[in-house]
Structure 1
Amino acid sequence: MGVFSHGKVVTVLQYFTPMFQDYWHTIYPVTRRVDIANDRFSYFYDISSKAMSFSGRFNDQGIYLFPGYDGKDHIHSLEVAQYTLACWLSWRKTDDVYWLNKAMLHSDWLRENQLDDGRWVISHVNPQYSDLGESWCSGLAQGLAISALIRAYEHTSDISYMNAALKAADFLERDFELGGLKRSIAINDVEGFVYEEYPRDKLSGVLNGHISSVLAIFELSHYEERFKISAEENIENLVKILPLYDINYWSLYSLDGVISSGFYHRLVINQLDALSYYDKRFESYKIKFSSYANNLLFATKALINKIGSKI
């Protein structure tokens, strides 16, 4: 794998502008607040293009296949979870039963392929994180799957989908030391936690993946009373740890010092924008990170430092 994910020129261009996009680097628009209030199927930002613009393959059962870094197609539970959520949003956008059927098919896959402890296993090796091994789980996969399964429950009233979402959240909340994904951190006098997207022995702490998990717990708290406290703790914790990702000209992708690409920097801005609807404390960081993205000097510095870290 090269310096940039999937070797895309778009990755470089997005340091300077969101105008250039492709399937792997789509700047998802933040959902209007009135739409979130009026439609329980809506999501914080619109990822429907992840389904509607997919031109890849499906297996014989119609399940989304991820074109892997090894050049082969894989059933990848993280990508399936994201695709499932995107299908739900596509259905609401188009009112086309095609997307409803896709959403239900993939929601069923998530329910049926969840392990007893609530996690989904990923068997595809990411060359950037070869120390994960050949079988791992992800906070991002858990979070996206929770949000997808909530919508399956909302549509069908079938409690099995909600039970799967609750099991997924319980695993997400399990301490890292006990084999879970919630990892305690203490950096520069800041004590908190992250939901690990890549649960390696070494701290990773990917910001966008953590926020996706936070959003899932927040959604689940509207259905299950016991997650209300977790949702509140997540908001306070995120406010506390956000400064760790601020390098005064750009954002860090993760707490092991990896600088965000243009895409992930802009994705986090949109995540913070969505969160600011519920807590205004996130608005200051949305504005701050946006100012970095709009500064040509800062964007160039981030790109140069990103390239330098890969050489």
Structure 2
Amino acid sequence: MGNQLLQKLTLLKRWSKILSGKTAVAVEQGIGKAFSTEKIAGYYNDLTGKVSDTTLLDDQGVPVTVIAGGDHRHFPIAIFQYALGSYDKFLLTKDQKYLTSFKSCIDWAIAHQREDGSWDAFSPIGSVKYTVSSMAQGEGASVLLRGYVQYGDAKYLDSARKAIDYMLVPLDKGGVSIHENGRLYLEEYPQSPRRSVLNGWIFSLFGLFDLSLIDKSYTNYFQQSVKTLAEELDQYDTGYWSYYDLEHRIASPAYHKLHIALLSVMAQLSDLRIYAEYAAKFEKYQNSSVNKYHAIARKVIQKLSEKSDAVIVQ
């Protein structure tokens, strides 16, 4: 009971930071500014806002995350997003300091990748329910593949391939994907029944797409999961806002806006019009103040009634 109270207080602190714009947890994440659909270049989502003078770093220049209780931890997803934001900043500005930041994160990714190709995504931030994640695998692969393109070191390609191979391991065999009747689900939070978090699935797809640009044997997996998600998109539509996952958690305004950006990119990476259609539909929802306030009220009620597994402060 005491731990849950602490987590609720921490959540309130986090929400106040998000609303005041004083945290990197929920910075603006639009469409990437330097990506290509034909080769590995910049990232598909704009993560440059994750890179700032206020980002907490360790002695090696690797981001650390503050969790409930004040502990500082290495959270793989935060590290990978910082790396991708740094690489975009390098491409956009040619400033070598961003390349140095990027390289520090690659070194961390290589050092902490386990033999099976996975990273422990959630235990470091206090989760007792989840460890591995398709989102960590996809973003980690995207970091390593940009490292391979930048430096030409084959070990980065090998590690990226190991990361994606693990991502494709079925849940019932210890992995983070679900293979069901010809469909391929990529699970940020692997469990049964599946949650299928929308943003996590798409970030996972970005990593798979990156590898398919270099190794065409992964193209069919990408296309299979893209088609699967396209057939599920209506399940994320409340009729006035988007759902965060298929357990019907309402998306926060920041995540709803992120959904629009991610779906817009997916429309460019695939030949399926439905992605552009849902991006436009969700943007229309966003432009309604009534819809927004309805979604916020529902989100607050959900957050206060949920039992928190892990809480990030910064």
Same fold (TM over 0.5): yes
CA contact (8 A) 2:40 2:213 kept: no
Q: What is the alpha-carbon distance in structure 2 between the residues aligned to residue 62 and residue 265 of structure 1?
A: 31
Equivalent residue number for residue 70 of structure 2: 71
Paired AA for residue 233 in structure 2:
L
Q: What is the alpha-carbon distance in structure 2 between the residues aligned to residue 72 and residue 10 of structure 1?
A: 18
Q: What pairs up with 1:52-71 in 2 under 5 angstroms?
A: 53-71=52-70
Q: Which residue, out of 164, 170, 174, partners 2:165? A: 170
CA contact (8 A) 1:91 1:100 kept: yes
Q: What is the alpha-carbon distance in structure 2 between the residues aligned to residue 196 and residue 220 of structure 1?
A: 18
CA contact (8 A) 1:10 1:25 kept: no
Equivalent residue number for residue 8 of structure 1: 15
1:263 matches 2:242 = no
Return the offset for 1:50.
0.8
Equivalent residue number for residue 291 of structure 1: 284
Q: What is the alpha-carbon distance in structure 1 between the residues aligned to residue 103 and residue 294 of structure 2?
A: 45
CA contact (8 A) 2:185 2:225 kept: no
Return the offset for 1:277.
1.7
Equivalent residue number for residue 25 of structure 2: 24
Q: What is the alpha-carbon distance in structure 2 between the residues aligned to residue 261 and residue 184 of structure 1?
A: 29
Equivalent residue number for residue 206 of structure 2: 215
1:308 matches 2:305 = no
Q: Cα gap change, 1:6/1:208 in structure 2, threshold over 3 Å: closer, same or farther? A: farther
Q: What is the alpha-carbon distance in structure 2 between the residues aligned to residue 11 and residue 62 of structure 1?
A: 24
Paired AA for residue 233 in structure 1:
Q
Q: What is the alpha-carbon distance in structure 1 between the residues aligned to residue 62 and residue 128 of structure 2?
A: 26
Equivalent residue number for residue 17 of structure 1: none
How many residues are treated as equivalent by the alignment?
A: 294
Q: What is the alpha-carbon distance in structure 2 between the residues aligned to residue 265 and residue 6 of structure 1?
A: 21
Instruction: Spell out, residue by residue over 1:107-128, the C-alpha distance to the aligned partner (whole angstroms, 9 max, x if none).
Output: 12111211111100133245xx
Return the offset for 1:156.
1.1
- Structure 2 gap ranges (5+): 1-6, 306-314
Return the offset for 1:141.
0.9
| SS of match in other structure, 2:247 | coil
- TM-score where L is the length of structure 2: 0.85
Return the offset for 1:199.
2.2
1:48 matches 2:48 = yes
Q: What is the alpha-carbon distance in structure 2 between the residues aligned to residue 269 and residue 185 of structure 1?
A: 27
Instruction: After superposing the two structures, state which structure 1 stretch, 66-75 or 255-264, moved more.
Output: 66-75
Q: Cα gap change, 1:50/1:56 in structure 2, threshold over 3 Å: closer, same or farther? A: closer
Return the offset for 1:8.
2.3
Q: What pairs up with 1:119-138 in 2 under 5 angstroms?
A: 119-122=118-121, 123-126=123-126, 130-132=128-130, 136-138=131-133
| SS of match in other structure, 1:226 | helix
Q: What pairs up with 1:217-296 in 2 under 5 angstroms?
A: 217-278=208-269, 279=271, 280-296=273-289
- Structure 1 gap ranges (5+): 14-19
Equivalent residue number for residue 116 of structure 1: 115
Return the offset for 1:12.
5.9
Q: RMSD of the alignment, in Å? A: 2.4
Return the offset for 1:234.
1.8
Q: What is the alpha-carbon distance in structure 1 between the residues aligned to residue 183 and residue 145 of structure 2?
A: 27
Equivalent residue number for residue 93 of structure 1: 92
Q: What is the alpha-carbon distance in structure 2 between the residues aligned to residue 37 and residue 201 of structure 1?
A: 33
Q: Cα gap change, 1:239/1:37 in structure 2, threshold over 3 Å: closer, same or farther? A: closer
Aligned-pair identity (%):
25
Paired AA for residue 2 in structure 1:
K
1:180 matches 2:175 = yes
| SS of match in other structure, 2:216 | coil
CA contact (8 A) 1:172 1:181 kept: yes
| SS of match in other structure, 1:254 | coil
CA contact (8 A) 1:146 1:216 kept: yes
CA contact (8 A) 1:11 1:263 kept: no
Q: Cα gap change, 1:184/1:39 in structure 2, threshold over 3 Å: closer, same or farther? A: closer
Return the offset for 1:38.
8.4
Q: What is the alpha-carbon distance in structure 2 between the residues aligned to residue 197 and residue 6 of structure 1?
A: 25
Q: What is the alpha-carbon distance in structure 1 between the residues aligned to residue 171 and residue 12 of structure 2?
A: 27
1:199 matches 2:190 = yes
Return the offset for 1:145.
0.7
Instruction: After superposing the two structures, state which structure 1 stretch, 23-32 or 83-92, moved more.
Output: 23-32
Q: What is the alpha-carbon distance in structure 2 between the residues aligned to residue 253 and residue 5 of structure 1?
A: 20
CA contact (8 A) 1:269 1:290 kept: yes
